[in-house]
């Protein structure tokens, strides 16, 4: 593959930029997205053990591709690199992960924790491969819009599968367990009250709801951008958003409701005033429709919030927070090593707390920096956008990034392949948005033809 495929947009002169072709960064990341969402997270390739998820393996391949490409470029003194805060923030997080891992190995660890620690480092590297390829490989606004359109499509299909699981009360994925060479831990479907808790292809309902809530701001803003560009009627372009909202409401989850509210509120500033009322009223209409058409749903959801003080999962989260200082005291600076705080010690359904334990205060700060740099990069891209459509899309990336970060307060999202991969994919999209939105960049003059 040519090294120019991953040359950052700011480094490649317009006259030297090759046309998009097969094997491009967009194509490679699209394959990753298909594996991340389309392949059940609970199904692994037996020969690779815990690393046997195809999305993780493909992400590692993307990292190798990125490194080889950078080495082929050599010391190009004649070009100016555009600073990428997201890339630097990821580098800082990776350094903390490696230092914490080395310290843990020197201290000595039980055999099962060594295996988990190694696989956790490889997952961070895999996610980094996706982030770096997006940051340096997306070269035009057209490619960025295509990426976000495919993200929206993947999230909509995931939500559609979840709706089928809710209606049919079965996972519809059992046949994966019969395929040779695969290990499956599908475990059927979960339930709460009288309703099925859908998970789609995710390993857990919380992972499923985190992904669909994270995709919702993209569905709203990309749909509006497509309608503005004359590539579809406005009601039709918002069908993906409607499917995502309906799936979140029927997920029978407190965190899904919170995530839905956050996603909608963060999406509104990116929309013109006229459409803000339309979106808000449409969401209220969806809530009323679910209450009217699904008997018992209103009572079940109300009980989830009014009975939260007596709910075992809520009590577990609350009680766990009281023990955080004791665990942090063991290694407050660099933590215990990413992935090594196993459920047998304690269960923290909070990724931010778990990250503080595993990577210390320095690691938590690096992760926060990654979130903030991605949001800032998206906001910067929105400010530099030459048209309302790209402006809204860039704001949608920021809203999605904040949504998934809020959802991480309710479960350990980086312990799951799909939610972790979605987080880093959005961070890479934020970096790409900043790269293609600089003043005078040819991307600002590209007329997008298709979003998907």
Q: What are the DSSP calls for 390-409, one per residue? A: HHHHHHHHHHHHHHHHHHTT
In this prediction, residue 442 carries a pLDDT of 45
What is the average pLDDT across 41-66?
A: 89
Whether 77 shows a pLDDT value over 50: the answer reads no
| pTM assigned to the model | 0.87
How many residues are recorded in the chain? 452
In this prediction, residue 5 carries a pLDDT of 47
**Of 190-199, 227-236, 363-372, which one has max mean pLDDT?**
363-372
Q: Which two tokens stand for residue 219?
A: 């569905």
User: What percentage of the chain reaches a pLDDT higher than 90?
Assistant: 37
CA distance 377 to 372: 8
Whether 234 shows a pLDDT value over 70: the answer reads no
On the CB side of 96, CA atoms within 13 Å amount to: 28
CA distance 214 to 303: 25
In this prediction, residue 446 carries a pLDDT of 39
On the CB side of 136, CA atoms within 13 Å amount to: 23
Whether 4 shows a pLDDT value over 70: the answer reads no
Whether 8 shows a pLDDT value over 70: the answer reads no
Sign of CA dihedral 27, 29, 34, 40: positive
Over residues 349-406, the pLDDT tens digits come to 889 999 999 999 999 999 999 999 999 999 888 887 655 556 778 889 999 999 999 9
422 Cβ neighbours under 8 A, 6+ residues apart: 36, 210, 211, 214, 215, 404
Between the alpha carbon of residue 151 and those of residues 28, 158, 165, 201, the distances in Å are: 14, 11, 21, 15
Whether 449 shows a pLDDT value over 60: the answer reads no
CA distance 180 to 111: 29
Whether 320 shows a pLDDT value over 50: the answer reads yes
Mean of all residue pLDDT scores within the chain: 82
What is the average pLDDT across 271-275?
A: 77
CA distance 175 to 152: 26
Taking CA 258 as the corner, what is the angle to CA 342 and CA 372, rounded to the nearest 5 degrees?
A: 70
Q: Which of 131-145, 182-196, 266-280 has the lowest mean pLDDT?
A: 182-196
In this prediction, residue 313 carries a pLDDT of 67
What is the average pLDDT across 67-80?
A: 64
In this prediction, residue 14 carries a pLDDT of 42
What is the average pLDDT across 336-353?
A: 81
In this prediction, residue 70 carries a pLDDT of 84
Whether 230 shows a pLDDT value over 70: the answer reads no
CA distance 165 to 325: 41
Over residues 168-184, the pLDDT tens digits come to 888 888 777 778 888 87
């Amino acid at each position: 593959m040519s090294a120019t495929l991953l040359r950052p947009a700011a480094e490649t002169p317009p006259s030297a930029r090759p046309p998009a072709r097969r094997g491009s960064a967009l194509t490679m990341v699209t394959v990753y997205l298909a594996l991340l969402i389309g392949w059940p997270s609970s199904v692994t390739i037996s020969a690779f053990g815990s690393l046997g998820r195809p999305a993780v393996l493909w992400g590692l391949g993307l990292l190798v591709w990125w490194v080889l490409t950078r080495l082929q470029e050599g010391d190009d003194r004649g070009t100016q690199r555009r600073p990428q805060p997201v890339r630097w923030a990821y580098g800082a997080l990776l350094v903390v992960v490696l230092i914490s891992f080395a310290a843990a190995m020197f201290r000595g660890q039980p055999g099962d924790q060594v295996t988990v620690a190694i696989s956790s480092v490889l997952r961070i590297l895999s996610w980094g491969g996706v982030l770096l390829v997006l940051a340096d490989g997306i070269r035009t606004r057209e490619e960025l819009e295509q990426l976000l359109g495919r993200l929206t499509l993947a999230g909509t299909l995931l939500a559609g599968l979840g709706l089928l699981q809710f209606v049919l009360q079965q996972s519809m994925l059992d046949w994966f367990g019969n395929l040779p060479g695969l290990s499956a831990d599908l475990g059927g479907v979960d339930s709460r009250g009288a309703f099925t808790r859908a998970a789609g292809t995710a390993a857990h309902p919380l992972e499923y709801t985190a992904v669909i809530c994270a995709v919702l701001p993209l569905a709203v803003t990309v749909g509006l951008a497509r309608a503005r560009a004359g590539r579809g009627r406005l009601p039709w372009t918002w069908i993906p958003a409607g499917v995502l909202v309906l799936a979140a409401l029927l997920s029978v989850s407190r965190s899904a409701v919170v995530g839905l509210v956050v996603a909608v509120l963060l999406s509104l500033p990116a929309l013109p005033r006229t459409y803000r009322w339309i979106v808000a009223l449409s969401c209220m209409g969806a809530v009323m429709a679910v209450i009217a058409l699904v008997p018992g749903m209103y009572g079940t959801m109300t009980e989830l919030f009014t009975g939260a003080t007596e709910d075992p999962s809520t009590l577990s989260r609350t009680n766990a927070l009281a023990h955080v200082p004791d665990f942090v005291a063991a290694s407050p600076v660099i933590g215990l090593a990413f992935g090594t705080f196993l459920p047998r010690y304690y269960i923290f359904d909070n990724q931010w707390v778990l990250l503080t334990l595993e990577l210390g205060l320095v690691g938590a700060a690096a992760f926060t920096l990654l979130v903030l740099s991605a949001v800032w990069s998206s906001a910067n891209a929105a400010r530099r956008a030459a048209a309302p459509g790209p402006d809204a899309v860039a704001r949608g990336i920021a809203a999605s990034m904040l949504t998934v970060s809020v959802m991480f307060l309710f479960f350990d999202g980086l312990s799951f392949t799909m939610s972790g991969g979605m987080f880093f994919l959005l961070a890479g999209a934020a970096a790409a948005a900043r790269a293609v939105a600089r003043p005078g960049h040819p991307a600002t003059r590209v007329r997008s033809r298709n979003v998907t």
